[in-house]
Amino acid sequence: MGGGNTKQKKLTQYELTEFTNQTNLTYQQVENLYTFYKNISASQKDDGVIDMQEFSNSLYLTNQEFSEQVFNVFDLNKDKVINFREFILGLANLINEKVEYKTRFVFNLICKSKNNIVSDTQIYDYMKNLINQFPGIYIEDQVLFGMISEQVKKIVSEYKAEEEEQKKQQNEEFIQNIDEIPNELNLKKYKSHISIQKDEDEVIKQNELTYSQFKQFVLQNPNTLKWLQIDKNNIASGANKLLGKK
């Protein structure tokens, strides 16, 4: 059951074209990743798909919970195995040099609900798992949580200030546009306008970030994405090694 001797087929020209179109990777990169994929998917059981164990071994992820989180982001159809399409779409996000792709990847990793919001506790859990992957680094739990929660609050309040400024402008426009003589109907309109704004204000929580706010957090904490750097040259040389080329 050796890794390199798998009998899986080669990618067809059609598949190659499909995958390069979907990912912005080159033919060569797709082929290199396929070599990796075949190797990993055959490392425990040569069944053409990557299971949880094969996945975490191949990434040297020692933290079980963290590997599961990463695995789940890759496993798009949630059938507990990663097929080549899922493998390449997941990795394409990480190989792409644009911060946006990696940020989205991490957001998906952290966000557990469908409301597209992450809490300071979820960011903390992620950062803690991340730090545990690097034995040389130690930050006390409370200190780490304090730092994250502080930054989240700051971003929320910055956004709130910005929003309030926008609302103030909208309000002024609204009042200007309303008929000059305040009849009963206009008064009603005005009151409901104000009450809608109040409701919106109450929804904002101090410890939660939307995706665009989370992008702000990542900008301020580039370490959040550091582990996601995948070197294109390493992929090429690694694939050649597996194929026995020099």
Residues that bind Ca ion (CB under 5 A): 75, 77, 79
Q: Least distance in Å: CB of 145 to Ca ion? A: 33
Q: Least distance in Å: CB of 48 to Ca ion? A: 12
Q: Least distance in Å: CB of 85 to Ca ion? A: 9
- 3-state SS assignment for residue 81: strand
Please state, as a whole number, how many other Cβ atoms lie within 10 Å of the Cβ of residue 27: 13
User: Exposed e or buried b for every residue in 135-148, given b needs 16+ CB within 10 A?
Assistant: eeeeeeeeebbeeb
Decide whether 15 or 144 has the Cβ nearer to Ca ion. Answer: 15
Backbone angles phi, psi at 182, to 5 degrees: -75, 90
Decide whether 41 or 129 has the Cβ nearer to Ca ion. Answer: 41
Decide whether 81 or 152 has the Cβ nearer to Ca ion. Answer: 81
Decide whether 8 or 149 has the Cβ nearer to Ca ion. Answer: 8
Amino acid residing at 176 = Q
Decide whether 108 or 221 has the Cβ nearer to Ca ion. Answer: 108
Q: CA end-to-end span of the chain, whole Å? A: 24
CA angle in degrees (0–180, nearest 5) for 179-182-185: 85
> Is the CA virtual torsion 157, 161, 162, 167 positive or negative?
positive
- Judge whether 228 and 94 are in contact, CB under 8 Å: yes
219-223, Cβ contacts within 8 angstroms, sequence gap of 24 or more: 219/99, 220/151, 220/155, 221/151
Decide whether 75 or 125 has the Cβ nearer to Ca ion. Answer: 75
Decide whether 26 or 77 has the Cβ nearer to Ca ion. Answer: 77
CA–CA distance, 175 with 180 (Å, rounded to integer): 9
- Judge whether 45 and 51 are in contact, CB under 8 Å: yes
CA–CA distance, 18 with 92 (Å, rounded to integer): 14
